Structure 1
Amino acid sequence: MSRRDQELSEKYQKDKRFEKVITSLNNLLSVSQNELIEELEETYPTLHILGAPRSGTTLVSQLISTYLPVGHINNLIAAFWKAPIYGIELSKKLIGSKYTSNFQSDFGRTTGIDEPHEFGYFWNYHLNYDGLEQKIQNHEKNINWKQLSSLLKNMTYSYERPIVFKSFLAGFHAEQLYRQLNKTCFIYIKRNLVDNVLSILKLREKLNGDKTIWGSIKPRQYEQLKSLSVYEQIVGQILCLEHEYLMQLEKVPENNKIIISYKSICENPDDFLQTIQTRFLNTQSERIPTLPNLSVKSKKVSSEVKKEILQARNTILKLFPDLKIIK
């Protein structure tokens, strides 16, 4: 299944020639990769970072990949979304395993070849999505879980370590991912609502060229949200995604998940990393002396705009009274 991508402003448009070439290569390699897949036990966990768009998921993926003994999907590996075993082995040979992030991104897009990538085409392909809109619950019967879980195990074996992912779509199926691979772990990031809204608004303006055009992932409530005001759409996007992810995570054991604020990660990155290492990776670590400065500065916003955002929140909670959100 091919993915229907949203039209983006000129700066963020994909190179059509490259997309055509790399798609052709993936189609060829996906067949030969089948010869490399082995029947393996689940030895290494996969870690999945979840959160609303612009909630800090990219920064968290950079932190974990830099300071903890995990593999990650970098920009080279991501080019092999139908044949990630080839991508991982090429990355090991050409780049090596030593990685230190520059802690930079442009609306979640990184530029260095070894920097983390969302791996969106991979998740669209294996979760059988043609776009970024959440599917109805019975969609899971259309997913080849045996194939996906086998591939994830083989990917960790290629890396010889756990792998950390950042994916919006995977969060819609957290329960089933855990059922298939019970070492699977999830990290849910919650950002201050006002800051999150303003950041998504900026994403709309820069990526889409128009703040009225929806940006990024669409929760199942999208059809009800799309006719609302801009602030109501964005607040609804954040809160509805939060609800959908939390409903999935309710069915995942406490030892396999962490729900944490972006602010607390930035204020205490060392504590956060040690928690991930001891709980999910089952290893101990010493204090890290070279962590970057991640101080959080709330975005400057007028009292009128803040009031509009909080009013939008009230509107969404009235429209969807059963939303499960973090208080």
Structure 2
Amino acid sequence: MKDGFPDRAPRYQRNGTLESVLETLNAALAPGAGTLIQDGAQPDGPVGLIVGNPRSGTTLLLQWLGYNGYFSYPTNLISRFYAAPAAGALVQKMLCDPALRYKDELAEEIAAPDYRSDLGKTAGLLGANPFWYFWRRFFPSEPTNHIPPNRWPADKARRFAAEIASLEAALTRPFAMKALYLNWNIAELAGALPNALFFHVTREPVFAVQSLLEARRRFNGDAAAWWGMKPPQYAELLGKDPVEQAAATVRLTDLAIEDALDRAPARNVFRIRYETLCEKPETVFESLKSHLRNHFGYALPDAYSGPSRFDHTPDIRLSPEEIRRFEAEWALHDRAALQGAA
């Protein structure tokens, strides 16, 4: 499975041998995967879809939702089965569920995942995975991650929903995953998944922009090289300097998401600030518990038992000149500008 990052830094290069093995494995499993999927099925419970900008807390939110047992989620193991994820989920249960152990044949301890990540990637069998290979099976991503209405693959979207239903059934819990891949097609996703619950996570703008620039330097070795999803304005943004480009990307992405969520039913929307999740996760838990109970009839535990807080470092590392360019670019974009570009 190819991607758009041929110039990755060495530590982020793909393992070609692994890619070949995964392609062979998934090609072999895909024909039989249909036995686990009911055509036209919809998930019974809420489907958590995390939208927002990269470097704004989307990975932490997925970890928090999954590691505390509120939702099932795509693990590093399940992601290897991107053409047959329900089969991967059953393999995971066989390996990790104590109830399925038999005479210690598979007695190795599976390490519990932690909250560390490196540009969205985690360590360990049960670490949260962005699941991009799964998304790419259904939805085109060129030249941008916005799919025009006349190109929306309705048949594939129905299959997408049915496969999520199969994951929910295999894991016996509502499923959540990142959906940044289709930040700009929220209305279409809502149509394909009536039980979608869109988690829009946002971060203080200057830190979101700063972190995006630093991610570019780490991943590509150059802040001017693109990293992350491509908004509809991608071609226009390429002509800007890195700070202006990052600021416009973060601003326009969040505006597009907010515009779509403002049109969605309240039951399908849950907004989270990254800073609040870090500093007061129990407050987020109580709000989420109430939302899921009132709108989906889905019960979370009575008491919060997750981490009391997550470390985050609100240190500005941009230079005064970069701050000036960030503020100027940010001020250029408002809802009127967004509507004019649509």
Query: Is the 8 Å Cα contact of residues 61 and 166 (structure 1) preserved in structure 2?
Result: yes
Distance change (3 Å), C-alpha of 1:227 and 1:81: same
User: Please, which moves more after superposition, 206-215 or 294-303?
Assistant: 294-303
Query: Is the 8 Å Cα contact of residues 144 and 234 (structure 2) preserved in structure 1?
Result: no
C-alpha distance in 1, partners of 2:229/2:92? 28
Q: Residue 324 of structure 2: which of 307, 312, 320 is its match?
A: 307
> What's 1:195 paired with?
207
> What's 1:23 paired with?
23
Q: What is the deviation of 1:60?
A: 0.7
Q: What is the deviation of 1:252?
A: 2.0
Q: What is the deviation of 1:130?
A: 5.3
> What's 1:114 paired with?
126
> What's 1:218 paired with?
230
> What's 2:102 paired with?
none
* SS of equivalent residue, structure 2 residue 201: strand
**What CA deviation, in whole Å up to 9, does each residue of 1:113-135 have, x standing for no partner?**
10100000111111233576333
Q: What is the deviation of 1:45?
A: 1.8
> What's 1:50 paired with?
51
Aligned residues: 321
The one-letter code sitting in structure 2 at the alignment partner of 1:197 is V
Structure 1 unmatched runs, 5+: none
Query: Is the 8 Å Cα contact of residues 113 and 123 (structure 2) preserved in structure 1?
Result: no
Residues 1-327 of structure 1 aligned to structure 2 (within 5 Å): 3-7=2-6, 8-39=8-39, 40=41, 42-96=43-97, 100-129=112-141, 133-141=145-153, 144-280=156-292, 282-301=298-317, 302-314=319-331, 316-317=332-333, 321-323=336-338
* SS of equivalent residue, structure 1 residue 189: strand
Q: What is the deviation of 1:284?
A: 4.4
The one-letter code sitting in structure 2 at the alignment partner of 1:72 is Y
**What CA deviation, in whole Å up to 9, does each residue of 1:97-124 have, x standing for no partner?**
8985411001111111101000001111
C-alpha distance in 2, partners of 1:133/1:3? 15
The one-letter code sitting in structure 2 at the alignment partner of 1:293 is R
Query: Is the 8 Å Cα contact of residues 145 and 229 (structure 2) preserved in structure 1?
Result: yes
**What CA deviation, in whole Å up to 9, does each residue of 1:170-194 have, x standing for no partner?**
3333222222332110100111111
User: Please, which moves more after superposition, 174-183 or 71-80?
Assistant: 174-183
* SS of equivalent residue, structure 2 residue 199: strand
Q: What is the deviation of 1:237?
A: 1.1
Structure 2 unmatched runs, 5+: 99-109
Query: Is the 8 Å Cα contact of residues 111 and 124 (structure 2) preserved in structure 1?
Result: no
Distance change (3 Å), C-alpha of 1:41 and 1:15: closer
C-alpha distance in 2, partners of 1:265/1:114? 22
TM normalised by structure 2 equals 0.86
C-alpha distance in 2, partners of 1:131/1:27? 26
The Cα RMSD (Å) is: 2.3
C-alpha distance in 1, partners of 2:237/2:11? 28
C-alpha distance in 2, partners of 1:321/1:9? 38
Q: What is the deviation of 1:289?
A: 4.4
Distance change (3 Å), C-alpha of 1:143 and 1:238: farther
Q: What is the deviation of 1:161?
A: 0.9
